Copies of this chain bind each other. A is one copy, B any other.
Amino acid sequence: MTEFKFKLVVAVRRDLDMGKGKIAVQVAHATISVSEEAKRHHPDWWRRWYDEGQCKVAVRVESEDDLHKLHSEAEELGLPSVIIQDRGLTQVTPGTATCLGIGPAPAELVDKVTGNLSLL
């Protein structure tokens, strides 16, 4: 197993029952948004993550409250973190928080927030 020093994690709400295409697009949206934020505030983290192979992991949470809790924890640690709200064109109500992106950042910092969550 390759050991990555930097990672980006997306936590996805499972309680919304989104289809796999919908989930994929939400995770992509979170990845783009949070990596742009990292690029602005931690360009060194972004660059090392990108060159290392852009480790990305999707994990699951059970509620919108979980997303907000993780978001607060990530911000307390100074990690790039973005909650994605869907436009609601398909499958969910407009403005629904669907997922949360954290990183790219040093893996040991990200793991403090998401290390105990199960893979999606």
Contact = CB atoms under 8 A, between A and B. Distances in A.
A33 B35 CA distance: 12
A21 B89 contact: no
Contacts of A26: 24
Number of copies of this chain that the complex holds: 2
B87 A119 contact: no
Contacts of A119: 21
Contacts of A30: 28
A2 B89 contact: yes
A26 B29 CA distance: 13
B87 A25 contact: no
A12 B32 CA distance: 18
Q: Give the 3 A-B residue pairs with the shortest CB-CB distance, closest first.
A: A21-B120, A24-B27, A28-B31
24 contacts: A1-B89, A2-B87, A10-B24, A10-B28, A12-B24, A20-B20, A20-B24, A20-B120, A21-B58, A21-B119, A23-B24, A24-B26, A24-B58, A25-B27, A25-B56, A25-B58, A27-B27, A28-B30, A28-B32, A29-B56, A32-B35, A33-B54, A36-B50, A53-B87
